[in-house]
Structure 1
Amino acid sequence: MLHPLKSYFNFLWNSKNQHGVHSPFVYNLVTKCFYDTAKYTEYSTLKAYRNSLLANNETIEVIDFGAGSKVFKSTTRIISQIAKTAGISSKRAKLLFRITNYLQPNSILEIGTSLGLATSALSLGLEAKTNRAKLNKNAKITTLEGCTKTMAIAKNQCQIQNLNNIDFINTEFSSYLTTQNLQPTSYNPQPTTYNLVYFDGNHSKKATLKYFELLLPTITNDSIWIFDDIHWSKDMEETWEIIQNHPKVTVTIDTFQWGIVFFRIEQKKEHFVIRV
């Protein structure tokens, strides 16, 4: 418990707002996206999705392939409690919506669906009415989840909210990534690419770095990767440091909860700690 608290105070000490950012790309991202105060109509859908889960007191048996939970001691869990304690917060769901809406990626991969709170934010970001002029109607989200029960709830909730740009895949993450067409070959020189990858499925150093390496062949100059809970543990902080120092990584942003990664070759290697 002391580790995240110490990490948070260290984050506050080192963090800046837009006035400490000298990169035009990052400055625009922070001012036009992170600090965007517009009241998007899609926020009401995010709220309805969350409230529906918070009102659901049914229990399910959860299969956890990741690093485990710091909150739950049993695999039998109440849906409302999962949404309240383990799901993405309302504030971060809105930020994820804005990031997706601002960057308009063509293809999204989410590693860890859970109850779909983040999935809904990604989906709405692609379909936001504010971006109809540049909306890519073929943009899709592929979301991976190892637990059948939580994925079924997420799929049902997304159908209720008419979020139809999502492919739900029940799988163990490493198995899926190692069997997909991610590596270029002489027969297929252009493998699958993802413009945005949201990593929220296994908060362990070994697994996160494995996903990172497996997905590197999919990057483009416009790719954005978001790693959840980078200060969750000492191991995750070490993972974040390794990712920052990778030669293909240029710009990284630490928002405390998330580590955001860019691969823009025109940018000099730079790290930002931003209060959001």
Structure 2
Amino acid sequence: MIYSPLIAAKKYFQYYIHASNSKGHGMHSPFVFDFITHVMNDFTDYAAYDKIETIRKKLLKDQTSVTLKDFGAGSAITKSNTRKIASIAKNSAKPRKYGQLMYRMAKHYQCKNILELGTSLGITTAYLASADPEATVITMEGADAVADIAQRNFNEVGLKNIEIVRGNFDETLRGVLQKMPAIDLAFIDGNHQQEPTERYFEQLLPHIHNNTLLIFDDIHWSSGMEAAWKNIIAQESVVCDIDLFYIGIVSFRKEFKEKQAFSIRF
């Protein structure tokens, strides 16, 4: 069940009052303290930001309609499979601060092999790929019309290190993982249903290493996504999880002697 705006607001309020501040004061985990101080609170105005946000501005003005084939939970905004590009940019693309956070994560942790489930218009993909031109980004998209737009955006920004894999993740993910080396960072943003989200996590597990980071989108978007997040972070392999409300991050670092969970205001 997708949460209503009222329920979502209540959940955000509960998260906000219980979450730690974003300054890192009193944080005893070296990894999480480093994440807060050097990633979350890195306020450098990187050149890639303006290039990508210029693309976003164009998309937000584009009234062209496209027909989508949605393999996931659909949109909370409309049930129609025909949507304007401006609407997709407004309601489906991750906001600037999350795209830029993922840019900083990929840059700080020197991620070379990046996987994204759910390209959409390619804004977040562009952020991930811009962090290191030598990195390889494989992004997966079920809707051909949207993938075409994303590819045009990559060309406009001049990104050459992105491969788009088209089709239903249930049919394409296995083949992608077979040809990928170990995954440094994966962003799971394509289905928004409990069972597929948990299944994708299980499929990714054989391809992770000590420093792998998995990022899950919209972990409080619905009861199903909250259940998926709860089940994922309960897995023995997950030793640290960070809840930023709109996204959740899991780490597998063996330096953690016991499971640790954090909610941090962002």
Pairing partner for 1:197 from 158, 181, 186? 186
How far apart are the structure 2 equivalents of 1:126 and 1:225?
Answer: 18
Find the residue that maps to 1:126 and give its secondary structure.
coil
2:259 — aligned with what?
A: 269
2:64 corresponds to 1:58: yes
Aligned residues: 259
Once the two structures are overlaid, the 10-residue window that deviates more, 147-156 or 18-27, is: 18-27
Q: Which residue of 1 aligns with 2:206?
A: 217
Q: Distance in 2 between matches of 1:109 and 1:213?
A: 15
Computed over aligned residues only, the root mean square deviation of the Cα atoms, in angstroms, reads 1.4
Partner of 1:104: 110
Deviations along 1:192-238, whole A, 9 cap, x unmatched? 32110000000000110010111110010010000000000111111
* Match runs of 1:73-84 below 5 Å: 73-84=79-90
The answer to whether residue 161 in structure 2 is matched with residue 165 in structure 1 is yes
CA distance in 2: counterparts of 1:180 and 1:95, whole angstroms: 25
| 3-state SS in 1 of match to 2:77 | coil
Q: 1:264 to 1:71 in 2, by over 3 A?
A: same
Deviation (angstroms), 1:3: 2.7
1:1-276 to 2 correspondences below 5 Å:
1=4, 2-17=6-21, 18-127=24-133, 137=134, 139-180=135-176, 182=178, 192-267=181-256, 268-276=258-266
Per the normalisation by structure 2, the TM-score is: 0.94
User: Once the 2 structures are TM-superposed, how far is the Cα of residue 180 of structure 1 from its aligned partner?
Assistant: 4.5
SS of equivalent residue, structure 2 residue 79: coil
Is residue 191–residue 197 contact of structure 2 (8 Å, CA) maintained in 1?
yes
Instruction: Kindly indicate whether the alpha-carbon contact (under 8 Å) linking 1:3 and 1:233 is maintained by their aligned counterparts in 2.
Output: no
TM-score, normalised via structure 1 length: 0.90
1:181, distance to aligned residue in structure 2 (A): 5.1
Q: Which amino acid aligns with 1:66?
A: G
1:245-269 deviation per Cα after TM superposition (whole angstroms, max 9, x unaligned):
1000011000001110000011131
Q: Distance in 1 between matches of 2:250 and 2:93?
A: 22
- Tell me the percent identity: 38
TM-fit CA distance, 1:241: 0.8
* 4+ residue segments displaced more than 6 Å: none
Is residue 177–residue 207 contact of structure 2 (8 Å, CA) maintained in 1? no
Distance 2:214 2:13 in 1: 25
Unaligned runs of 5+ in 2: none
Q: Which amino acid aligns with 2:103?
A: F
| Residues 164-185 of structure 1: per-residue CA shift (max 9 Å, x gap) | 1101110211211234554xxx
